[in-house]
């Protein structure tokens, strides 16, 4: 469990590295729940939780699909300040053009009964800023930024 004292100081950053397996999603969501803070609006936190879950499962299902699972990890970082949450998710898959993929998705009719295929669109709808870039260490980083107005008392 993350110590509450650490969360009292804002901004804060926490990292997590988990095996590239859908079974690790429970661990990812549990870790993220521990990072919640009362000053973050609940609706914002829940949307970011959904974006994190979608980003993680996309890394496992798509980016790592053709890679050997032994020793393969997904790394995540959460940065929180008084007005924003930044979610960073790293994968080892082949890079792709996020903007082009989102345009392709937008051009298609969404099948609401499909078992998948809506994750990137969901993340795009949640995020105020969204990027997917190749890093110097040959990984890809999905960056999701969500802003909010601080509460006034």
CA dihedral 37→43→46→50, nearest 10 degrees, is -140
Which residues on adjacent β-strands are paired with residue 147?
A: 84
The two tokens of residue 99 are 């903007």
4-147 topology per CATH: Heat Shock Protein 90 (3.30.565)
Distances (CA, A) of 71 to 11, 15, 22: 32, 18, 15
Contact 48, 36 (CB under 8 A): no
The domain ranges of the chain are 4-147
For the chain, what is the mean pLDDT?
88
The tokens for 55 are 């980003």
Query: What's the confidence (pLDDT) of residue 151?
Result: 66
pLDDT confidence of residue 23: 96
Of 139, 143, 144, the closest CA to residue 94 belongs to 139
pTM of the full structure: 0.87
Over residues 31-89, the pLDDT tens digits come to 999 999 888 999 999 999 999 999 999 999 999 999 998 899 999 999 999 999 999 99
Q: Provide the pLDDT for residue 150.
A: 77
Question: 24-33: long-range contacts at Cβ-Cβ below 8 A with a sequence spacing of 24 or more?
Answer: 24/56, 24/60, 24/74, 25/53, 25/56, 25/57, 28/52, 28/53, 28/56, 28/76, 29/53, 31/2, 32/78
Q: What is the pLDDT of residue 37?
A: 86
Q: Is the pLDDT of residue 132 over 90?
A: yes
């Amino acid at each position: 469990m993350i110590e509450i004292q650490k969360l009292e100081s804002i901004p804060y950053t926490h990292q997590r590295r988990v095996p590239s397996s859908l079974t690790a999603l429970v661990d990812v969501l549990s870790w993220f729940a521990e990072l919640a803070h009362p000053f973050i609006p609940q609706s914002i936190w829940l949307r970011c939780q959904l974006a994190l879950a979608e980003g993680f499962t996309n890394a496992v299902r798509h980016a790592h699909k053709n890679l050997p699972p032994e020793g393969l990890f997904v790394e995540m970082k959460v940065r929180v300040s008084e007005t924003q949450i930044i979610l960073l998710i790293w994968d080892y898959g082949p890079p792709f053009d996020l903007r082009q993929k989102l345009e392709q998705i937008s051009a298609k009719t969404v099948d609401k009964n499909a078992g998948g295929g809506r994750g990137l669109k969901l993340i795009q709808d949640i995020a105020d800023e969204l990027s997917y870039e190749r890093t110097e260490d040959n990984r890809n980083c999905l960056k999701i930024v969500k802003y909010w107005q601080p509460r006034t008392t």
